[in-house]
A and B are shown apart, each in its own frame.
Chain A
């Protein structure tokens, strides 16, 4: 992953972060809220190689740490998403190219979103944060997983095109 691509990816992620914070979070989704930002980030991470997924996870996590509504310590999302990036890249190698397997992509991203939120909650407990009622939290995790499952399939072509656009000619080879 080149520096220019890292910068461009950060800009794209920041755009989706602004969309998430100013628009998507205002929608009162049934079951629970949907995080478009996590969906896009995990989708981009799924298309990257190991190095790229880890770097993208860290950049995406840092941007998510900027969320003004967050009560968590700064760096918590960066830690979690770096780990998730590593786990993603480890597992995606056995699946192959996601652009040819949209169902696998959708399932992978949804499972990743669910796992990410679960890790966030578990780490919160370890850090002594008050996360509230377990049932409400599980509802949020499951609800987000379901919405990610529904929306990620629509996002795949766009994300693949976006990634191809950011690749350098050397990376394309």
Chain B
């Protein structure tokens, strides 16, 4: 009886493994049925994600705060006093207010670049078990959002639209390991490729071996044909450190992005770009560091007066 059960299980195992391999082959050959099933799931999930988004936003932020507790311990004292002041001022819903600020930042940047944008709320994040960095936004083809459109945040590039349904879209974030974007260094106009690494660090590879990279160099998007998937002139990040190794033919640098991908509330999808692009109009202005000037006036000594 047990042997019969084992044979039945083995037969089922073989059938299901073959079925799985068949499905993988179909998908790799580009059969649309598999892609359509994911789009259908996305359409189904989008309303739920939208509904849950408001409720879960504070929960997600709570865990995020715990996660960053060690890093921000030093700032805790300052924040406490600031928080007391803010509490008196805040009369609106904090979440809505925060989203409005983000939206204002995004629209400011888009306005400076002359981009026509569609703003959207982030209603979902890709599951960690898929090992891909994605977000779901509540704007879709009904709003003019299409596949391969650039997505920006209040400080610069966020990612690119991976797929879109009528009411929602999935955005591949710039820190996804598969993400690649052509960038130019604003100072030297050297061109390179920026690669996501799955976390908050990015690697810049210069295409020109004689090009120069310096710390704090600003990187702007190079742009693609017909501005898809990338529009030109959008701030991407700045150089954190330069890797000087003689082993590689091209120069490499470690880059930090302007956008904080961990706390995206509102983003904008760029629908249209002005003719010729924004050139260098969007280069972030450096914040002037305050300097202290001390004037020393010599006072007359008692001996001198005598």
On A, residues with C-beta under 8 Å from B are 18, 20-30, 32-35, 37-38, 49-51, 54-55, 57-58, 61, 64-76, 78-79, 82-83, 86, 89, 117, 120-121, 124, 127, 130-133, 135-137, 140, 143-144
Contact = CB atoms under 8 A, between A and B. Distances in A.
Of listed B52, B53, B130, B136, residue having the most chain A CB within 10 A: B130
Nearest to B65: A28
Contacts of A65: 23
Given A66-B38, A82-B17, A35 B178 contact: no
Nearest to B263: A28
Contacts of B20: 58, 61, 75-76, 78-79, 82
Contacts of B59: 26-27
B170 A28 contact: no
B177 A66 contact: no
Contacts of A22: 45, 48-49, 51-52, 124
A133 B198 contact: yes
B196 interface: yes
Nearest to A75: B23
B132 interface: yes
Nearest to A66: B41
Nearest to B178: A130
A150 to B, nearest CB: 13
A45 to B, nearest CB: 13
Interface residues of B, number: 60
Contacts of B5: 49-51
Interface of B: 5-6, 8-9, 12-13, 16-17, 19-24, 26-28, 34-35, 37-39, 41-42, 45, 48-49, 51-53, 56-57, 59-61, 63-64, 66-67, 124-132, 134, 136, 163, 170, 176-178, 196-199, 262
The 8 closest A-B pairs by CB, nearest first: A33-B128, A132-B177, A75-B23, A132-B198, A69-B126, A74-B34, A79-B20, A68-B42
A33 B131 contact: no
B266 to A, nearest CB: 15
B177 to A, nearest CB: 3
A131 B26 contact: no
A140 B12 contact: no
A137 B198 contact: yes
Contact of B131 (A82, A89, A121): A121
Contacts of B63: 27-30
B35 to A, nearest CB: 8
B131 A55 contact: no
21 contacts: A27-B56, A29-B67, A35-B127, A37-B129, A51-B8, A54-B16, A58-B19, A64-B129, A65-B23, A67-B127, A67-B130, A68-B45, A68-B170, A70-B132, A75-B26, A78-B20, A82-B20, A121-B131, A132-B178, A137-B131, A140-B128
Given A50-B9, A66-B37, A76-B24, A132 B131 contact: yes
A20 B49 CA distance: 10
B301 to A, nearest CB: 63
Nearest to A86: B13
A67 B13 CA distance: 23
A29 B177 CA distance: 20
A29 to B, nearest CB: 6
Contact of A72 (B9, B52, B130, B262): B130
Contacts of B178: 71, 130, 132
Contacts of B16: 54-55, 57-58, 78, 82
A76 B37 CA distance: 15
B130 A71 contact: yes
A79 B26 CA distance: 14
Given A50-B9, A54-B16, A74 B177 contact: no
Nearest to A24: B127
A79 B22 CA distance: 10
Contacts of A28: 60-61, 63-64, 67, 262
Contact of B163 (A38, A68, A86, A124): A68
A40 to B, nearest CB: 13
Contacts of A57: 16
- Of the candidates A33, A73, A74, the one having the most CB atoms from chain B within 10 angstroms of its own CB is A74
B24 to A, nearest CB: 4
